[in-house]
């Protein structure tokens, strides 16, 4: 009988890797979204680059927060699957 692909270390590693890559895309998307929103507000109010910079900072903050939550959740899940708190 063939080993279960969900139980091999390689398959678990790929799953965690893809989740972290997804977190990176989420980080980039948050920056682009808030930066674009700030740019649109600047064009609407004719106040260049005030809201673009505010949008950039908000995007960086929100993206980093979401990225760290996802990475910590994934690493915590991997630690639980290994069966302990050892790194």
User: Does the model's pTM come out above 0.75?
Assistant: no
DSSP label at 85? S
For the chain, give every domain's residue range: 21-76
- CA–CA gap between residue 27 and residue 21 (Å, rounded): 10
Residue-level pLDDT, tens digit, the chain, 87 residues: 555 655 666 666 677 778 888 888 999 999 999 999 999 999 999 998 999 999 999 999 999 999 999 888 877 766 655 665 555
Residues near 5 by Cβ (< 8 Å), separated by ≥ 6? 11
């Amino acid at each position: 009988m063939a080993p279960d692909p969900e139980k091999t270390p390689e398959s678990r590693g790929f799953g965690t890797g893809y989740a972290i890559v997804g977190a990176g895309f989420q980080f980039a998307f948050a920056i682009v979204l808030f930066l674009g929103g700030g740019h649109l507000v600047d064009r609407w109010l004719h106040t260049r680059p005030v809201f673009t910079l505010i949008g950039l900072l908000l995007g960086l903050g929100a993206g980093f927060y979401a990225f760290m939550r996802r990475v910590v959740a994934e690493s915590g899940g991997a630690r639980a699957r290994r069966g302990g708190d050892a790194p």
